[in-house]
């Protein structure tokens, strides 16, 4: 694999990924698996964003829709309603912080782009909206490409029988060709922890992370409060801080450039001590 690209272009601003950046999770949903309902009004969301920025988050990932197993399926219109003016307010209050939006709708992307969004974070890899890649190219924003099963209804089904690394790399190869053909310039790869993989497959993904991806695209890793960590231990999502940071150290060793997390302060310490 080539050396990892260390810069992304966010609305004309070149952002370095060395040292790795922290993406703080800001759920606007009433039904997210670990913090549902805590930040689903603008005041609470802003206070949480301020806390994460103070603790070291360089990216705030706004999530208007839960994608946990069994979550309600929302329309783009409902996502846009939930976002409201939050992006523009975040950009005004925290001018140096990047804002990403976790959506699989091109309509939500267009709205968020006009509000000042910096990064598209699409869990569907363009599978759930055929206009997504075209819209990503139109915005010129970096695009987070996540590995996932091909439909919304099957995204959590554990159906991959071949070697998980081969499966992920084939998917990334095909999707990156489509993104580049559409005109997307900056691609960030997310292997898709928590989506349709067994516990064993996800630990293999961590152990062999250096073999995931190609062309030096930076890796985003989102393992925070994921069930493959806490369920085998018989713990709750918020009670696996030490285990999560141990795994963060492993993925940093193997080249991760962005960590998507709930616990910003502890992750910042992990990154600082890893240098």
Is 260 among the residues known to form the active site? yes
Residue listed under structure tokens 């869990």: 123
Contacts of 238 (CB under 8 A, 6+ apart): 34, 225, 262
Catalytic hit among 226, 231, 236, 250: 226
CA distance 118 to 197: 29
CA distance 249 to 266: 12
List the structure tokens of 263: 């616990």
CA distance 263 to 24: 8
Quick check: 1 and 214 in contact, CB under 8 A? yes
CA distance 234 to 71: 22
Quick check: 59 and 258 in contact, CB under 8 A? yes
List the structure tokens of 170: 């084939």
Is 197 among the residues known to form the active site? no
The set of catalytic residues is 226, 260
């Amino acid at each position: 694999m080539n050396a990892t690209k260390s810069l992304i272009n966010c609305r004309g601003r070149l952002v370095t990924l060395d040292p790795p950046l922290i993406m703080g999770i800001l759920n606007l949903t009433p039904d997210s698996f670990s913090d549902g309902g805590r930040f689903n009004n603008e005041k609470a969301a802003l206070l949480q964003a301020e806390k994460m920025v103070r603790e070291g988050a360089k990216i705030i990932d706004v999530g208007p829709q839960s994608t946990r197993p069994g979550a309600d399926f929302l329309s783009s219109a409902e996502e846009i309603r939930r976002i409201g003016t939050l992006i523009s307010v975040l950009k005004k209050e925290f001018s140096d912080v990047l804002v990403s939006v976790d959506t699989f709708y091109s309509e939500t992307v267009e709205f968020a782009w006009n509000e000042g969004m910096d990064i598209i974070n699409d869990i569907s890899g363009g599978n759930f909206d055929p206009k997504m890649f075209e819209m990503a190219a139109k915005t010129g924003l970096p695009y987070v490409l996540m590995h996932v099963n091909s439909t919304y209804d099957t995204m959590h089904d554990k159906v991959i029988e071949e070697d998980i690394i081969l499966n992920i790399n084939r998917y990334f190869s095909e999707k990156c060709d489509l993104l580049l053909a559409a005109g997307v310039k900056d691609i960030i790869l997310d292997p898709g922890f928590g989506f349709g993989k067994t516990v064993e497959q996800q630990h293999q993904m961590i152990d062999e992370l250096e073999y995931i991806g190609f062309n030096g695209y930076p890796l985003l890793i989102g393992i925070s409060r994921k069930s493959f960590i806490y369920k085998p231990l018989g713990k709750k999502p918020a009670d696996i801080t030490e285990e999560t940071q141990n795994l963060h150290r492993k993925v940093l060793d193997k080249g991760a450039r962005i960590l998507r997390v709930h616990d910003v302060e502890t992750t910042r310490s992990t990154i600082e001590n890893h240098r």
